[in-house]
């Protein structure tokens, strides 16, 4: 996922810069939880774009998709990051948390260079595997 955020960000201004549809829009002042508005409001705004529809178990494919995404939409992303109120952008890679002593995940230099050139941070979010109905573990949500 590509997330562009800022406390004073105007999501509409960001969306006017990027030529693909946003997958999520959060506006400062909206309830944090729609079902429980008394729990407070969002203190910043963000716009999220799907950079890859690969599963949590497909980090390499997520990275390949993200490279293609950054190459294709780099100019749009630069404009969005220059939007008044923008505090930054992050590429978030969602992966399965594995049951291992040490979990190491590699990011290729091309991806790091493209993200860095655009001023994007890279984040790795680990999710516990979800159990499906037959008892096997499977995390299949799109992630990056």
In order of 1, 44, 63, 106, 116, the CA distances from 28 in angstroms are 20, 5, 30, 34, 27
Q: What is the pTM of this model?
A: 0.82
Domain residue extents for the chain: 2-89+112-120
pLDDT score recorded for residue 140: 43
The mean predicted confidence, pLDDT, of the chain is: 89
User: Cα(6)–Cα(94) distance, rounded to whole angstroms?
Assistant: 22
State mean pLDDT over 73-100.
Answer: 94
pLDDT score recorded for residue 131: 60
Tell me the torsion sign for CA atoms 41, 47, 53, 54.
negative
Q: What is the pLDDT of residues 112-136, one digit of tens each?
A: 999 999 999 999 999 987 765 444 4
Q: What is the pLDDT of residues 55-68, one digit of tens each?
A: 999 999 999 999 99
């Amino acid at each position: 996922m590509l997330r562009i955020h800022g406390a004073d960000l105007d999501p509409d201004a960001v969306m006017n810069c990027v030529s693909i549809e946003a997958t999520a829009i959060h506006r400062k002042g909206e309830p944090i939880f729609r079902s429980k508005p008394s729990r407070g409001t969002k203190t910043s705004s963000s716009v999220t774009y799907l950079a890859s529809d690969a599963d949590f178990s497909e980090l390499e494919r997520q990275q390949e998709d993200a490279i293609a995404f950054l190459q294709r939409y780099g100019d749009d992303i630069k404009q969005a990051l220059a939007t008044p109120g923008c505090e930054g952008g992050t590429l978030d890679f969602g992966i399965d948390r594995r049951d291992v002593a040490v979990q190491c995940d590699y990011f290729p230099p091309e991806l790091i260079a493209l993200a860095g050139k655009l001023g994007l941070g890279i984040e790795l979010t680990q999710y516990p595997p979800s159990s499906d109905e037959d008892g096997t573990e499977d995390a299949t949500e799109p992630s990056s």
